[in-house]
Amino acid sequence: MRRKLGRYLFLILVFAFICTGTAYGADSLDEVRSLIQTRFYQDVNEDVLTKGSAQAMVEALNDPHSSYISPEDFKDYLSSLDGNYVGVGMYINESKGQIQVVRPIPGSPAEKAGLKEKDIITHINDKDIKGLTSSETAAKVRGPEGTKVKITVMRGGQTLYFTVERQTIEIPSLDYRLIGTEVGYIQLYSFSSNSAQEMSDALKDLTDQGMETLVLDLRDNPGGLLNTAVEISADFVPRGPVVHVVQKGDREYTLRTFKTPYGIPVAVLVNEGTASAAEILAGAIQDAKTGVIVGSQTYGKGSVQTIFSLSDGGGLKLTTAKYLTRGRQDINGKGLTPDIMEADENKQFEVAVKKLGSEMPLFDVQMAVGSKLVFVDDQTFELPVSPYMEKGTVMVPLRQVADYLGGDVRWENGTIVLASPTGNYKIDSVSKVIKSAQGEILGQGAIKEGTTMVPARVLADMMGFKIGWHQKDQMIYLYDE
């Protein structure tokens, strides 16, 4: 099972800054024309500049990362950069001319409706989206809270239809925890306006907990704000260049860090979904040789987009530059090549920990409330349902966690049976009461999203394992003494 834990913006590219376009004239068409002439990173033909609408002009650039954003959508668009928006809760991206779901946020309306990673979106509200950019598609998915949107996707040759209710989506920048007693783990979801502070806080907390090495997970991170990538890089690379930005006419400037990094050994996990600002951060670490990159080839987005506010209330997202990494790697269309190639995402954490030289023991199973990501020894997997708290009890998926601990769950005449080293246990399919072979009631199970959930402490006892709880991080761990 591949490790997939994430959250959603829609598509995030690298953003340089937000500025006003009103200096370019009162009419948005003139503003867009002037911005394209002066700020687009390449020269354009005259026929592009004579198009009759702002949207047509931008489309004529044939740049998948540039788009005109209508006044109706621009306010929501800017809100999403701060980590909040109204939508269905999924990442989307452009792949080979199609709009693909990167992943839905765990617990989001999109996930609950059944949308999955690698679904290809074909229609929104029964309207074909062929030719639309990911930003334009995202704008059609968004809408007033409480309203519904119909999303049509292709999955394995099948056409599937989903009706999803829009909700306010709050997006945390990252998730972190201590694995075992010494290995820090930070999964950075994107580069929004609050990400640098969240990263600083996470590093401080993990250091206070005794972190000696760090695994930084940038898998499926689609990028975000350029200045945020530079700020976060300062925690990991020495003072000096982070990224070189090349504008129209080969004008170049360099963004630098002036901080002293933590200096902790770090391994960075990447995959084909690692893009944009995430590639800047990973590239800076790789070029500075302050960490090792583990995983598969990254996405390869080496361009910079700037957001301009227009006088009509709309916005223009325009590719204004390309970038080179700290060591002047040009990754556009190619991506970063990891120092250690490992295609199996379940094994990447193990490879990273071993490369960091950590030989300390890890817990047998480690989970956190609200997160589907589970660490099993030194591998990572995804649970079908996140552990959750109910009346002070942490509930976990029975079948998967029992399997990780060496148990066997099966059906027998309408009853779930767990065979473990300490004996056989039964969970009645109707009452969900957990009983020993002698009929002793041990606890109460539950069903969530079609998955049998049981109290973690009861499961640990049945499997003969010890259990621990870390209150601050809402983390639970099971270990065999």
List pLDDT tens digits, range 401-454. Answer: 999 999 999 998 889 999 999 999 999 878 899 999 889 999 999 999 889 999
Half-sphere exposure of 182 (CA within 13 A, CB side): 13
Q: What is the DSSP string of 29-48?
A: HHHHHHHHHHHSSS---HHH
Cα dihedral 95, 196, 252, 17 in deg (nearest 10): 80
Half-sphere exposure of 474 (CA within 13 A, CB side): 15
pLDDT at 458: 96
Report pLDDT digits (tens) over 10-68. 233 333 333 333 333 336 899 999 999 999 999 999 999 999 999 999 999 999 889 99
> Which range in 94-98, 335-339, 450-454 is most confidently predicted, on average pLDDT?
335-339
Cα dihedral 2, 351, 365, 216 in deg (nearest 10): -80
Report pLDDT digits (tens) over 157-186. 999 999 999 998 877 789 899 988 889 999
- HEC readout, 76-143: HHHHHHCCEEEECCEEEEEECCEEEEEEECCCCHHHHHCCCCCCEEEEECCEECCCCCHHHHHHHHCC
pLDDT at 117: 84
Average pLDDT, the chain: 88
List the catalytic residue out of 63, 119, 175, 287: 287
Provide the token pair at 187: 């999964």
Tell me the average pLDDT across 215-222: 94
Give the residue carrying structure tokens 């990973």.
282
Global pTM value = 0.73
Element (H, E) at 69: strand 67-69
Report pLDDT digits (tens) over 458-472. 999 999 999 999 887
Report pLDDT digits (tens) over 286-332. 999 999 999 999 999 999 999 999 988 999 999 999 999 999 999 99
Give the residue carrying structure tokens 């996470």.
202
pLDDT at 107: 77
Q: Is 303 a catalytic residue?
A: no
Q: In what order do the strands lie in the sheet with 183-188?
A: 174-179, 183-188, 213-217, 266-270, 291-295, 340-341
Tell me the average pLDDT across 248-267: 93
pLDDT at 21: 32
Report pLDDT digits (tens) over 126-165. 999 998 888 789 889 988 899 999 999 999 999 999 999 9
- The domains of the chain, with CATH numbers, are 15-169 (2.30.42.10), 174-304+320-355 (3.90.226.10), 365-479 (3.30.457.10)
> What percent of the chain has a predicted confidence (pLDDT) above 90?
65
Tell me the average pLDDT across 190-196: 89
Q: Is 301 a catalytic residue?
A: yes
Q: Is 259 a catalytic residue?
A: no
List the catalytic residue out of 301, 317, 322, 372: 301
Contact 317, 305 (CB under 8 A): yes
List the catalytic residue out of 190, 192, 276, 386: 276
pLDDT at 361: 62
Is residue 1 predicted with pLDDT exceeding 70? Answer: no
